[in-house]
Structure 1
Amino acid sequence: MNEKEFDLGIVKRFFEHDYHDRGLMKWQGFYLSDHTAALNQQKIQDKQQYPPKPQQSLSIVGQILSTAYTQNQPVNLQLNTVDHNNQHFATITTPILGYNGATIVLANHQFININDIQHIELVRSTNWTGNQ
Protein backbone atom coordinates (compact mmCIF):
# COMPACT_ATOMS: atom_id res chain seq x y z
CA MET A 1 0.00 0.00 0.00
CA ASN A 2 1.46 3.37 -0.86
CA GLU A 3 0.76 6.78 0.67
CA LYS A 4 -1.83 7.67 -1.98
CA GLU A 5 -4.02 4.67 -1.06
CA PHE A 6 -3.71 5.25 2.71
CA ASP A 7 -6.88 6.79 4.19
CA LEU A 8 -6.58 8.17 7.73
CA GLY A 9 -10.39 8.24 7.99
CA ILE A 10 -10.55 4.45 7.72
CA VAL A 11 -8.04 4.10 10.56
CA LYS A 12 -9.93 6.63 12.68
CA ARG A 13 -13.27 4.86 12.08
CA PHE A 14 -11.67 1.49 12.93
CA PHE A 15 -10.47 2.70 16.34
CA GLU A 16 -13.72 4.55 17.12
CA HIS A 17 -16.20 1.83 16.10
CA ASP A 18 -14.56 -1.55 15.46
CA TYR A 19 -11.59 -1.91 17.84
CA HIS A 20 -12.42 -2.85 21.45
CA ASP A 21 -9.52 -2.53 23.90
CA ARG A 22 -9.52 -5.39 26.41
CA GLY A 23 -7.86 -3.22 29.04
CA LEU A 24 -5.98 -5.19 31.69
CA MET A 25 -7.12 -8.54 30.29
CA LYS A 26 -4.36 -8.44 27.69
CA TRP A 27 -1.70 -8.23 30.45
CA GLN A 28 -2.85 -11.27 32.43
CA GLY A 29 -0.68 -13.58 30.35
CA PHE A 30 2.43 -11.86 31.67
CA TYR A 31 2.31 -13.28 35.21
CA LEU A 32 5.42 -15.25 36.00
CA SER A 33 4.98 -18.91 36.83
CA ASP A 34 6.48 -18.47 40.30
CA HIS A 35 4.10 -15.58 40.92
CA THR A 36 1.05 -17.65 39.97
CA ALA A 37 2.36 -20.51 42.11
CA ALA A 38 2.68 -18.11 45.06
CA LEU A 39 -0.85 -16.81 44.45
CA ASN A 40 -2.21 -20.37 44.37
CA GLN A 41 -0.36 -21.22 47.59
CA GLN A 42 -1.81 -18.11 49.23
CA LYS A 43 -5.32 -19.21 48.22
CA ILE A 44 -4.71 -22.60 49.84
CA GLN A 45 -3.44 -20.98 53.04
CA ASP A 46 -6.39 -18.61 53.09
CA LYS A 47 -8.75 -21.61 53.02
CA GLN A 48 -6.98 -23.34 55.93
CA GLN A 49 -8.76 -22.96 59.21
CA TYR A 50 -7.01 -22.71 62.52
CA PRO A 51 -9.43 -23.50 65.33
CA PRO A 52 -9.17 -21.21 68.33
CA LYS A 53 -7.29 -22.65 71.27
CA PRO A 54 -8.60 -22.02 74.79
CA GLN A 55 -8.17 -18.48 76.05
CA GLN A 56 -5.56 -18.51 78.81
CA SER A 57 -5.50 -16.15 81.75
CA LEU A 58 -2.98 -13.34 81.87
CA SER A 59 -1.19 -14.99 84.82
CA ILE A 60 -0.71 -18.28 82.91
CA VAL A 61 0.49 -16.42 79.82
CA GLY A 62 2.93 -14.47 82.00
CA GLN A 63 4.27 -17.62 83.67
CA ILE A 64 4.87 -19.36 80.35
CA LEU A 65 6.51 -16.24 78.88
CA SER A 66 8.78 -16.00 81.90
CA THR A 67 9.80 -19.64 81.60
CA ALA A 68 10.38 -19.34 77.87
CA TYR A 69 12.50 -16.22 78.28
CA THR A 70 14.62 -17.43 81.19
CA GLN A 71 15.18 -20.92 79.74
CA ASN A 72 15.56 -19.66 76.15
CA GLN A 73 12.78 -21.98 74.96
CA PRO A 74 10.64 -21.21 71.92
CA VAL A 75 6.87 -20.96 72.27
CA ASN A 76 3.82 -21.54 70.12
CA LEU A 77 1.61 -18.45 70.16
CA GLN A 78 -1.94 -18.07 68.97
CA LEU A 79 -3.06 -14.48 68.93
CA ASN A 80 -6.65 -13.47 69.58
CA THR A 81 -6.82 -11.58 66.27
CA VAL A 82 -8.94 -12.96 63.43
CA ASP A 83 -9.13 -12.40 59.68
CA HIS A 84 -12.06 -11.02 57.68
CA ASN A 85 -13.76 -14.45 57.83
CA ASN A 86 -13.53 -14.51 61.64
CA GLN A 87 -10.86 -17.24 61.48
CA HIS A 88 -7.74 -17.33 63.64
CA PHE A 89 -4.34 -17.07 62.01
CA ALA A 90 -1.73 -19.83 62.13
CA THR A 91 0.22 -20.43 65.32
CA ILE A 92 3.52 -18.56 65.56
CA THR A 93 6.53 -20.58 66.72
CA THR A 94 9.25 -18.27 68.00
CA PRO A 95 11.69 -17.65 70.83
CA ILE A 96 11.03 -14.68 73.11
CA LEU A 97 13.88 -12.19 72.71
CA GLY A 98 12.77 -9.79 75.38
CA TYR A 99 10.00 -7.78 76.96
CA ASN A 100 9.15 -4.24 77.90
CA GLY A 101 6.18 -3.83 80.19
CA ALA A 102 3.23 -5.55 78.53
CA THR A 103 5.04 -5.95 75.19
CA ILE A 104 7.12 -8.96 74.20
CA VAL A 105 9.71 -9.09 71.43
CA LEU A 106 9.69 -12.07 69.07
CA ALA A 107 12.53 -13.48 66.96
CA ASN A 108 11.87 -11.29 63.91
CA HIS A 109 11.81 -8.20 66.16
CA GLN A 110 8.03 -8.16 66.04
CA PHE A 111 6.37 -6.60 69.06
CA ILE A 112 3.29 -8.31 70.54
CA ASN A 113 1.15 -7.00 73.38
CA ILE A 114 0.69 -9.65 76.06
CA ASN A 115 -3.07 -8.96 76.01
CA ASP A 116 -3.20 -10.07 72.34
CA ILE A 117 -2.18 -13.65 73.21
CA GLN A 118 -5.01 -16.18 73.09
CA HIS A 119 -2.93 -19.25 73.90
CA ILE A 120 0.75 -19.96 74.53
CA GLU A 121 2.69 -23.15 75.09
CA LEU A 122 6.34 -24.08 75.33
CA VAL A 123 7.84 -25.93 72.38
CA ARG A 124 9.33 -29.11 73.75
CA SER A 125 10.79 -30.29 70.46
CA THR A 126 14.39 -31.48 70.54
CA ASN A 127 14.96 -30.41 66.95
CA TRP A 128 14.38 -26.67 67.45
CA THR A 129 17.25 -24.78 65.83
CA GLY A 130 16.12 -21.20 66.25
CA ASN A 131 16.20 -20.68 62.47
CA GLN A 132 12.58 -21.54 61.85
Structure 2
Amino acid sequence: MSNPDFDLDTVKHFFEHDYHDRGMMKWQGFYLSDHTAALNQQKQQLNEVYVPRPQQSLAEITQLLADAYQRQQPVIIQLKTVDQNNRHWPDITTLIHGYNANDIVIDADRLIPLQEIRNVAYKKTEKL
Protein backbone atom coordinates (compact mmCIF):
# COMPACT_ATOMS: atom_id res chain seq x y z
CA MET A 1 0.00 0.00 0.00
CA SER A 2 1.90 2.99 -1.25
CA ASN A 3 0.73 6.56 -0.68
CA PRO A 4 2.42 9.23 -2.79
CA ASP A 5 1.62 11.93 -0.16
CA PHE A 6 3.37 9.98 2.61
CA ASP A 7 6.75 11.44 3.51
CA LEU A 8 8.91 9.43 5.93
CA ASP A 9 11.08 12.47 6.71
CA THR A 10 8.02 14.43 7.89
CA VAL A 11 7.00 11.59 10.20
CA LYS A 12 10.52 11.27 11.54
CA HIS A 13 10.70 15.04 12.17
CA PHE A 14 7.32 14.93 13.99
CA PHE A 15 8.42 12.21 16.42
CA GLU A 16 11.84 13.76 17.03
CA HIS A 17 10.72 17.39 17.56
CA ASP A 18 6.94 17.80 17.97
CA TYR A 19 5.58 14.67 19.69
CA HIS A 20 5.83 14.52 23.48
CA ASP A 21 5.18 11.09 25.00
CA ARG A 22 3.54 11.45 28.40
CA GLY A 23 4.89 8.09 29.55
CA MET A 24 2.91 6.49 32.38
CA MET A 25 0.59 9.48 32.72
CA LYS A 26 -1.54 8.20 29.88
CA TRP A 27 -2.04 4.85 31.66
CA GLN A 28 -3.00 6.17 35.10
CA GLY A 29 -6.65 6.44 34.12
CA PHE A 30 -6.78 2.70 33.53
CA TYR A 31 -6.24 1.66 37.16
CA LEU A 32 -9.39 0.04 38.53
CA SER A 33 -10.41 0.29 42.15
CA ASP A 34 -9.37 -3.35 42.64
CA HIS A 35 -5.91 -2.52 41.36
CA THR A 36 -5.48 0.49 43.60
CA ALA A 37 -6.79 -1.44 46.62
CA ALA A 38 -4.28 -4.23 45.93
CA LEU A 39 -1.46 -1.70 45.52
CA ASN A 40 -2.41 0.01 48.79
CA GLN A 41 -2.52 -3.34 50.59
CA GLN A 42 0.89 -4.27 49.18
CA LYS A 43 2.31 -0.92 50.31
CA GLN A 44 0.85 -1.43 53.79
CA GLN A 45 2.38 -4.90 54.00
CA LEU A 46 5.78 -3.50 53.03
CA ASN A 47 5.54 -0.98 55.86
CA GLU A 48 4.58 -3.58 58.49
CA VAL A 49 7.30 -4.76 60.80
CA TYR A 50 7.39 -8.49 61.39
CA VAL A 51 8.85 -9.23 64.79
CA PRO A 52 11.28 -12.12 64.71
CA ARG A 53 10.07 -15.06 66.75
CA PRO A 54 12.58 -17.28 68.57
CA GLN A 55 14.82 -19.48 66.45
CA GLN A 56 13.66 -23.08 66.87
CA SER A 57 15.90 -26.10 66.57
CA LEU A 58 15.77 -28.14 63.40
CA ALA A 59 14.38 -31.09 65.39
CA GLU A 60 11.57 -28.94 66.79
CA ILE A 61 10.75 -27.51 63.37
CA THR A 62 10.61 -30.92 61.69
CA GLN A 63 8.47 -32.37 64.50
CA LEU A 64 5.93 -29.52 64.24
CA LEU A 65 5.83 -29.75 60.44
CA ALA A 66 5.41 -33.54 60.46
CA ASP A 67 2.58 -33.27 62.99
CA ALA A 68 0.86 -30.52 60.99
CA TYR A 69 1.22 -32.61 57.82
CA GLN A 70 -0.36 -35.67 59.45
CA ARG A 71 -3.23 -33.67 60.95
CA GLN A 72 -3.65 -31.44 57.86
CA GLN A 73 -3.52 -28.44 60.17
CA PRO A 74 -2.35 -25.05 58.85
CA VAL A 75 0.88 -23.60 60.21
CA ILE A 76 2.48 -20.18 60.33
CA ILE A 77 6.05 -20.24 59.07
CA GLN A 78 8.58 -17.49 59.64
CA LEU A 79 11.64 -17.63 57.41
CA LYS A 80 15.14 -16.49 58.29
CA THR A 81 15.13 -14.30 55.18
CA VAL A 82 15.24 -10.54 55.70
CA ASP A 83 14.94 -7.65 53.24
CA GLN A 84 17.52 -4.94 52.52
CA ASN A 85 16.38 -3.05 55.66
CA ASN A 86 16.98 -6.14 57.83
CA ARG A 87 13.23 -6.69 58.33
CA HIS A 88 11.71 -10.16 58.25
CA TRP A 89 9.48 -11.12 55.37
CA PRO A 90 5.78 -11.67 56.09
CA ASP A 91 4.86 -14.98 57.69
CA ILE A 92 3.56 -17.77 55.48
CA THR A 93 0.30 -19.37 56.58
CA THR A 94 -0.24 -22.65 54.76
CA LEU A 95 -0.94 -26.34 54.83
CA ILE A 96 2.00 -28.69 54.41
CA HIS A 97 1.44 -30.71 51.21
CA GLY A 98 4.51 -32.89 51.51
CA TYR A 99 8.13 -33.06 52.53
CA ASN A 100 11.46 -34.72 51.89
CA ALA A 101 14.76 -34.78 53.77
CA ASN A 102 15.61 -31.14 53.01
CA ASP A 103 12.41 -29.33 51.95
CA ILE A 104 8.73 -28.96 52.69
CA VAL A 105 6.10 -28.52 49.99
CA ILE A 106 3.51 -25.77 50.36
CA ASP A 107 0.88 -24.51 47.92
CA ALA A 108 1.18 -27.82 46.02
CA ASP A 109 4.31 -26.73 44.10
CA ARG A 110 6.48 -24.42 46.22
CA LEU A 111 9.44 -25.85 48.10
CA ILE A 112 10.88 -24.28 51.24
CA PRO A 113 14.26 -25.56 52.47
CA LEU A 114 14.13 -26.58 56.13
CA GLN A 115 17.34 -24.62 56.75
CA GLU A 116 15.51 -21.38 55.79
CA ILE A 117 12.81 -21.77 58.47
CA ARG A 118 13.20 -19.75 61.66
CA ASN A 119 9.99 -20.61 63.48
CA VAL A 120 6.87 -22.73 63.00
CA ALA A 121 3.62 -22.35 64.94
CA TYR A 122 0.19 -23.89 64.57
CA LYS A 123 -2.42 -21.54 63.21
CA LYS A 124 -5.10 -21.03 65.80
CA THR A 125 -8.47 -22.13 64.51
CA GLU A 126 -11.74 -20.87 65.89
CA LYS A 127 -14.02 -23.50 67.33
CA LEU A 128 -17.71 -23.26 66.59
Root-mean-square deviation (CA, aligned residues, Å) is 2.5
Q: Deviations over 1:45-91 (max 9, x none)?
A: 11111111111111111111122122322211111112232211222
- In structure 2, the partner of 1:21 is 20
Equivalence for 2:7: none
Change (3 A) 1:113 1:23: same
Normalization by structure 2: what TM-score? 0.73
Per the alignment, residue 61 of structure 2 pairs with 61
| Cα distance change of structure 1 residues 113 and 20 upon mapping to structure 2, 3 Å threshold | same
Change in 2 beyond 3 A, CA 1:21/1:101: same
Change (3 A) 1:70 1:32: closer
Residues 37, 119 of structure 1: alpha-carbon distance in 2 compared, 3 angstrom cutoff: same
In the TM superposition, residue 33 of structure 1 has moved relative to its aligned partner by 2.8
**SS at 2:37 equivalent:** helix
Are the aligned partners of 2:97 and 2:108 in contact in 1 as well (CA < 8 Å)? no
- Structure 2 gap segments, 5+ residues each: 1-12
What is the Cα deviation at residue 101 of structure 1?
A: 1.4
Give 3-state SS (helix, strand or coil) of 1:73's partner.
coil
For structure 1, which segment, 81-90 or 108-117, has the greater mean C-alpha deviation from structure 2 after superposition?
Answer: 81-90
Identity of aligned residues (%): 47
Q: Which residue of 1 aligns with 2:73?
A: 73
Q: Which structure: larger Rg?
A: 1
User: Deviation above 6 Å: which 4+ runs of structure 1?
Assistant: none
Q: What TM-score, normalized by structure 1, do the two folds share? A: 0.71
Question: Which residue identity does 2:71 align to in structure 1?
Answer: Q
Superposed counterparts of 1:1-132, under 5 Å: 16=17, 21-24=20-23, 25-126=25-126
Q: Which amino acid aligns with 2:22?
A: G
- For residue 30 of structure 1, report the CA deviation from its aligned partner: 3.0
User: How far is the alpha carbon of 1:22 from its aligned partner?
Assistant: 4.9
Specify whether residues 23 and 124 from structure 1 end up closer, same or farther in structure 2 by C-alpha distance, changes over 3 A only.
closer
Change (3 A) 1:27 1:91: closer
